[in-house]
Structure formats: C-alpha cells, structure tokens
Structure 1
C-alpha cells in the first residue's frame, strides 16, 4: 500500500499567482516609496484600459 500523503499536486494558475505575488513583494521591498498603480500594473502585466465607447477620448 502506498503512502496516502505522498501526492504530487501542481496547479499552474496557483504557481503563476505565487510568482506574481513574489514579484510584487520584491519590488515593494526594494522601493523606498509605495509602488504606484502604474508600477503595479506593469509588474502584473496589466495593459492600460482603453475605453472604446464613442466620444470617450474627449
């Protein structure tokens, strides 16, 4: 009978989240000031929202 606690679990989405969180922690620790929203978005790979509604550019 195998060891019931010897299981291999891997969740790619969870690993990605851990990597992003780690990147944020490192960047925040290295920064002398709080990270701006733009810096956080860049670290997370968030692209700026572009409003596609007519007249939204003005």
Structure 2
C-alpha cells in the first residue's frame, strides 16, 4: 500500500528547513561559479546576506 499526501494543500511545510535548503542552493551555485577552488569567507557572507541581516532592525 502506498501513502500519498492528499491533494489540496494540506501538506505541512517547515519554513526554516526550506529557507536553509534555498541558502544551500545559493552557496552551491556561487561555489560552482567561483574562479578559485574555494569561496572566501567574505563571498560566503555575501551569498548568505549576513551584512543585510545584521543591519536589519530587530522586531
């Protein structure tokens, strides 16, 4: 017997996990486009938008 998620949008989504998957994908794309063997820490921070997150107001 095969169980399939019901049609109609009742599937549960983990938004944190989806955001992490998206960021990992962006890192993979950046790494594949890098001209060097490895991404620098600054490049990784740029891809992950670390500076933007630090500047965003809390709340």
Query: TM bucket by the smaller chain?
Result: 0.5 to 0.7
Can you give the 5+ residue segments of structure 2 that lack an aligned partner in the other structure?
Answer: 55-59
Q: Residue in 1 aligned with 2:46?
A: 42
Q: CA deviation at 1:6?
A: 1.9
| TM-score, normalised via structure 1 length | 0.65
Q: CA deviation at 1:4?
A: 5.5
**C-alpha separation in 1, matches of 2:32 and 2:46:** 16
Higher relative contact order (CA 8 A, sep 6+): 2
Q: How many residues were matched structurally?
A: 46
Q: CA deviation at 1:16?
A: 0.6
| TM-score, normalised via structure 2 length | 0.64
Can you give the 5+ residue segments of structure 1 that lack an aligned partner in the other structure?
Answer: 50-58
Q: CA deviation at 1:24?
A: 0.2
Tell me the C-alpha RMSD between the 2 structures: 2.1
